[in-house]
Amino acid sequence: MHASFANGSGYIRMADVSNDWDIIQLSFAEPDSATSGNLHFNRCPVSECANVESDADFLAAIKAKQAAGKKVLISIGGANGQVSLTSTAARDAFVTSMSAIIDRWGLDGLDIDFEGHSIYLNNGDRDFKNPTTPVVVNLISALKTLKAKYGSKFILTMAPETLLLHGGRMFYGSGAWGGADTRNGVYLPVIHAVRDFLTIVHAQHYNSGPVAGANGTYYNAGTIDFNVALSDMMITGFPIEGNAANFFPGLRPDQVGIGLPANAQAAGSGQMSTADTQKAFDCLTKGSNCGSYRPANTYPTFRGLMTWSVNWDKFNNYEFSKAHAAYFKSLGN
């Protein structure tokens, strides 16, 4: 749920978030400045959102969702919040401020949604297993510190844009020959470093141009093949820049999800009909209803579906969550 975007979706009270959602992300914690590491979370001001609830009601609604078995996380970044941990001081401020937000609202963990130029790879940083770029190294360190503080109950999710994740298949950072976007695949060293306690990566399969799957074929957003191929490569793993000696090992199927827009207004691309979305999941979980791309295996424990956003979901009378929740219940996992 997003607090203040003035994007036409309207504000949604925590108590009104559909119970069909299992994980609710509060969007967004934003920094005082791009490199401070000091983040804050404020709900929509009354001047913009007349129906915003009080602190007491907001906290009570969070507790009610958790009592019903839901998890509530704080999401960091987004399109308007650049967070670059360029120094150890910023790293430490990040840990302190994130802990304060988690403790203030009794949250279950956090979601990393670093977009834009928050993270990148310096020239010469070529080994995803041993990154050297400060913004990457400091983020990894901060996440490990937060995990150590909160223990087994700590939930960590990530919502990378396709360039920052799957982009590592064709280029990594600036590329072996230089000149490419330094953000290519930048989430890969972060994911690799925290894979032991990472809950879900639900990549943004929207606002994206064509992306190459592990087979090197490019697929267009908003298609069954795009969603299946990009999910499959995150489970099977893939060679960085096609180099078999530099292979990114896949995640467990239960650590991988898909992010799609809740409706036509929510994103510039990637929208899927209910039928095609569920065909993509049929393909991934059962091996049926595939397009031209067939996954290496079937993944009955594939984690699920993220959307931007519950606000847009409510705007469309919960059409997205109702249809897909019923479908996932039918899978029985």
- Among 296, 292, 260, 294, smallest CA distance to 277 is for 260
Q: How many C-beta neighbours within 10 Å does residue 16 have?
A: 14
pLDDT at 163: 96
Residue with tokens 């091996």: 287
Q: Fill in the DSSP letter of residue 66.
A: H
Cα separation, 233 vs 32, in Å, equals 36
Query: Do 182 and 174 touch, CB atoms closer than 8 A?
Result: yes
| Domain architecture of the chain: domains with CATH | 14-331 (3.20.20.80)
Task: Write the CA distances from 179 to 64, 97, 125, 161, 173, integer angstroms.
Answer: 50, 36, 14, 20, 9
pLDDT at 87: 98
Query: Do 186 and 121 touch, CB atoms closer than 8 A?
Result: yes
Query: Do 25 and 75 touch, CB atoms closer than 8 A?
Result: yes
Low-confidence spans in the chain with pLDDT less than 50: none
φ, ψ at 320 (rounded to 5°): -65, -55
Cα separation, 1 vs 31, in Å, equals 18
What secondary structure, in 3-state letters, does 233-284 show?
Answer: HHHHCEEECCEEEEEECCCCHHHEEEEEECCCCCCCCCCCCHHHHHHHHHHH
Cα separation, 30 vs 37, in Å, equals 9
pLDDT digits (tens, 9 = 90+) for 26-51: 999 989 999 999 999 988 888 888 88
pLDDT at 332: 78
Cα separation, 257 vs 185, in Å, equals 17
- Please report which residue ranges of the chain form alpha helices under DSSP H: 55-67, 88-105, 134-150, 162-165, 187-194, 224-236, 274-286, 310-315, 319-331
Cα separation, 172 vs 164, in Å, equals 9
Residues labelled as active-site residues: 115
Cα separation, 237 vs 174, in Å, equals 21
Query: Do 204 and 158 touch, CB atoms closer than 8 A?
Result: no
